[in-house]
Structure 1
Amino acid sequence: MHDLIQLMCKEIVLDEDRWDPRKRSRLWRHNDILQVLNKPKRVERVEALSLDMSQVSRIIQLCPKVFEEMDNLRLLRFYCLDDSHIPTKNPTKLHLPQQGLEYLPNTLRLLHWDRYPSASLPSNFCPENMVYLKMPGSSLTQLWEGDNVPLVNLKVCDLRRSEELIKIMDLSGVPNLEELYLGGCSSLVEIPSSLQLCRKLTKIIVSDCINLCGFPSDLRLTSLEEVGLERCPRITQLPKLPSTVKTLYMYSSGIKQVTAACIGHLTRLRKLYVGGVLESLPCEIGFLINCLEVLSIWGGGPKLISIPDTICNITGLVWLLCHSCKNLESLPNGIGRLKRLKTLYLAGCSKIRSLPSDIGGLTSLECLVLTGCCSITSLPESICDLESLKWLSL
């Protein structure tokens, strides 16, 4: 039904003018778009331009003022159908002169440009209407020159894998920001403290920002639900987080200690991913009794030799993963109390000598992975009581 409605809507747009794409309100067919881009004329009717770059077989040379005659343009998309692994070093098919674009319409509400080839957006662009900004794999070093740029309507900013990005805008002028994605921005050094003014922020992802060392110490934003700090080796302290956080990624970061003050109050936390140089987990992790469903520990430092017994209080835990925790010596006794646990993954935990005798109490356990647990020489008899077990890997 959805496809049928979409087809019908496209036919309605085509009926606006069958011969001249400049007289249509929306353009999505690549031949029509190339015709408009290659021969810029007055195109007042065009409100949306969406080009799947996978359909383009040749390089397109854009002139600096290509959008100057599109005063009503509200949506501009140059995208790859699968942008999940956009290679930033891959040459883009859209070329701009060295000075970049000289104009973008101030009417834009959505700008999605994969592998944007210039260092910044036009200095005369006033993005006060912008709601959605997505420019993954870009050549941006900064969005705009100067900080006083009005972004009062911006809700989503996605600059992932923009490896040359060295700074982001002052966030005090972005009061409605809800999602901020900066993963893979390897030249980024600092997130401005004005992030604390984004009261509507629900997600911030800075994973793989290998040079990021400046990060706000207080993120007690009352709408925040997801924080991604994984593979940020220069972030050494976990910021103060609000109790609203549901997902926290921080494996392979520089964080060695997770204190009770950091996570004991996160009463809505459902997924916790830790590891890297982490030395220990606090006993207060047991305070997450009514919320935590996934605990994933990747690696861990040389002092991570045990998991607090209080983890056995988290009766809602569904997935416990300890991957390549090479110094982990044992699992806590009482693990059999985790009646909802479905997956216990211990691959590469080479110092664990035995499993707890009450492991048979895991009545919901479906998957048990012990690959690389070379110190385990026998399994407890109670393992035969795992009535739900479907997969055992030794």
Structure 2
Amino acid sequence: MKEASDLGGWELKNTFDGREAKFIQKIVTDISLKLHLTNCSIDDKLVGMETRVKNVISSLEMDSEDDVQTVGIWGMGGAGKTTLARAVFDHISIWFEGNSFVENVRECSKGSLSGLRKLQKQVLKDVLNDQSIHVTSISDGINKMKKTMPGRKVLIVLDDVDDIDQLEALAGELSWFKPGSRIIITTRDKQVLIAQGVDVDNIYNISLLSREEAICLFSRHAFRSAKMGRYPGTPKNNTTGENIKKLEISYDGLENDHKEIFLDVACMLKGEPKDKAIKILEGCGFHAQIGLEVLEQKSLINILDYGTLSMHDHLEEMGRNIVRRLHPDEPNRHSRLWVKKEIEEILINDLGTKATRSMNLMYPGIHPAIVMKSLRKMKELRLLCVFDGNKTWEIDEGVEYLPNSLRSLNWSGYALSCLPQTFQANNLVNLEMPWSYISQLWEGGERKVLEKLRFVDLFSSKLRTFDLGMTRNLETFEYVGVSIHQNSLAMLELIVEPLGICPLHPNSNLPKFKHQCKYGEVLPLAGGNIEKLISFGLCACTNLESFSASICGLQHLTALTLEGCIPEVPKDLWKLESLEQLTLSMKEINHLPDNICMLKHLKYLDLKSCWLLEQLPMDLGGLQCLEELHLTDCISLQDIPNNICKLKFLKKLHLPYCIQVEKLPEELGRLECLKLLDIEAQVSSCSILKSITNFKKSELPKLKFLKVSGSKVGNFNLGLITYVRGAIFETCNDIYAK
């Protein structure tokens, strides 16, 4: 009884202006809705559907009747958008005065205005429960909706929309509907939702099954059991003809160039960094930036957190089926080749043709001379990838050949000492020859101007000299032990590091230039266009005693990495006015200069492994643009200053192993943009964070990921994680959740 008396509730005087009838109606509706959601069962065959239904209903804000809410469900064909929309509809439709579920909007309205008119008629009949309604034209249907819809609270689902005209005819304006109404739109094309004005936060990107859910579904069908029992592994994807037909709907609606880009991703570029793929595709004559955006909006590709191109396995299989089915029994006529057995047969029998645009050959069992001989017939080859396993071959000079049409050449373990003399490489955008025997680009040190070359990877090759003057537009260069001509360092990142150390730069999209040197070696930075350097790094150069003051005068520098190099932070660091990313991972640092907070454009600050650092600058809030702060392994850090709450754009805060920190700032909840909070100790004896402040539900509204492990957390408000997608509590034995 005492606990019940302490519970909060609604007060009549503060609800509906004291109107008792509406107050009672609100209570009845709220309780009934909760009971309905509890009792309404979801088909147990639909693995993972319950969570997704709750997420969509949460977005609909059913408690609010002040306005009309529109929610979009977006995802690839076959991902379950219609099934999810139907489940949500079944759950909540009873709480509306009228409802309509309009299936197959795209199919029903395709190529005919009468199709849209019929759909308008369906909506009016369903909502008004009047079968005698007639719609003579689209404009007539719109007028009837404007007149009749505002009188009742409705739920309308528009399923499989692919054109803004469909929405304008069926739900053109929110003003058509009575406040409290809800509109749900499913689509494969995100741009349709954006054009309709759907708020980005109300676009639900339907997630595919997690690994655990997929295994559960597999177990149910394979073993007639929902229990996983022994781990059954991951079944091989088998895209049926019906699924292929569904997936191809989005592909068929693409422009020709966008279709070509999709097929290149499916057959060759999946897993490549987006920026790199854009340059390669642009070299092929495509408007790749726009093309990849279109593919992403239509759920045909996705971009991973690290900026790499990705694609669902079914879509990859669909793309490859499209390539193969034009000439199913003649692989030499395919535009793209990736099946090893077929490729080797083509090469051995010299069946290459102009039809081939790209080829991916892994671990060939044939001599490179045979490969090059057949390449002479592939005059239009744009993308070539060969992984040769670093074998030693001897080859006659006369057969060396690579087509000048190549935009991307990736030949790991290339067995020759140089590129073919006839290969001009004037179209080449990407050159990758790691672990190769190449010692010079062309025999005799011949110098060719490679204006289009942007990316070079000669990691662990035999190359010992490289003239950057040949490649004035170079953006990325990776290698070991190559001498560099200091005449063209413009727009390159310089990372000086000892052999064996290869740190991951915080922004993998930045141009990179790696040079591995011996401990204490000083790389000369004089000459060239050093003033245009945009990124610089020193990693594990332990003999270096000081940091050149001239670096602090580089006005274009946007990224600086100092890892295990010098004992103190340069005092003039604040002069780097353009700096956006700063990594100071040095165990010897015991303090940071206060003027570091004058870096007004800094977005990323990494202080991991600064073991001796006891305090952060008192004016930390001066970093107005900071979005990500890493304090991992700052084992001497005593506390987090309150002024961290001034970082209004902070999205990620990492505090693993800050074992001296016992509490977070009381006003941390003011960080309205915070999406990730990582508090990890994994040290059972530490006393890190004995409590997490009782945040209000209105605080930290964007927090999506929370990790608390190995800490002595003793007091935690679960209200904090109302909207958190991933919350992990590990070995927090003393936790007490309020």
TM-score by length of 2: 0.41
Residue number in structure 2 paired with 1:175: 472
Work out whether 1:59 is the aligned partner of 2:365.
Answer: yes
Work out whether 1:159 is the aligned partner of 2:454.
Answer: no
Unpaired segments of 5 or more residues in structure 2? 1-248, 253-258, 264-318, 495-508, 712-738
SS at match of 2:376: coil
Q: How does 1:185-224 map to 2 (within 5 A)?
A: 185=479, 187-188=480-481, 191-197=484-490, 203-206=510-513, 209=516, 211=518, 213=521, 215=523, 217=525, 220=530, 222=532
Instruction: Report the alpha carbon displacement of residue 371 of structure 1 after superposing the two structures with TM.
Output: 2.6
SS at match of 2:649: coil
Instruction: Report the alpha carbon displacement of residue 170 of structure 1 after superposing the two structures with TM.
Output: 0.7
Distance 1:93 1:138, change over 3 A: closer
- CA distance, structure 1, for counterparts of residue 445 and residue 592 of structure 2: 40
Distance 1:75 1:115, change over 3 A: same
Residue number in structure 2 paired with 1:139: 436
Distance 1:191 1:375, change over 3 A: farther
- CA distance, structure 2, for counterparts of residue 313 and residue 34 of structure 1: 62
Distance 1:305 1:293, change over 3 A: same
C-alpha contact (below 8 Å) 1:208/1:230 kept by paired residues? no
C-alpha contact (below 8 Å) 1:191/1:215 kept by paired residues? no
- CA distance, structure 2, for counterparts of residue 251 and residue 200 of structure 1: 13
SS at match of 1:299: coil
Percent identity of equivalent pairs: 16
SS at match of 1:196: coil
Instruction: Report the alpha carbon displacement of residue 324 of structure 1 after superposing the two structures with TM.
Output: 0.8
Work out whether 1:72 is the aligned partner of 2:379.
Answer: yes
Deviations 1:3-44 (A, max 9, x none): 4445698479859xx7593xx594525355323422347x67
Aligned to 2:626, which of 300, 317, 327?
A: 317
Residue number in structure 1 paired with 2:719: none
- CA distance, structure 2, for counterparts of residue 369 and residue 75 of structure 1: 44
Deviations 1:269-310 (A, max 9, x none): 433333145635443332232x323222221364x3333233
Aligned to 2:447, which of 149, 163, 168?
A: 149
- CA distance, structure 1, for counterparts of residue 604 and residue 396 of structure 2: 46
Letter in 1 for 2:435: S
Higher relative contact order (CA 8 A, sep 6+): 1
Aligned to 2:597, which of 286, 291, 308?
A: 286
Distance 1:52 1:37, change over 3 A: closer
Distance 1:314 1:192, change over 3 A: same
SS at match of 1:134: strand
Residue number in structure 2 paired with 1:328: 637
- CA distance, structure 2, for counterparts of residue 52 and residue 271 of structure 1: 38
Could you say what the CA RMSD is over the residues aligned between the two structures, in angstroms?
A: 4.4
Instruction: Report the alpha carbon displacement of residue 346 of structure 1 after superposing the two structures with TM.
Output: 1.5
Larger Rg: 2
Distance 1:384 1:128, change over 3 A: closer
C-alpha contact (below 8 Å) 1:297/1:323 kept by paired residues? yes
SS at match of 2:653: strand
Higher helix share: 2
Residue number in structure 2 paired with 1:254: 565
Distance 1:232 1:75, change over 3 A: farther
C-alpha contact (below 8 Å) 1:59/1:93 kept by paired residues? no
Deviations 1:332-375 (A, max 9, x none): 45222223323322211234465556545445445443333835
Letter in 1 for 2:630: L
Aligned to 1:38, which of 345, 348, 357?
A: 348
- CA distance, structure 1, for counterparts of residue 557 and residue 396 of structure 2: 40
Work out whether 1:116 is the aligned partner of 2:425.
Answer: no
Letter in 2 for 1:120: S
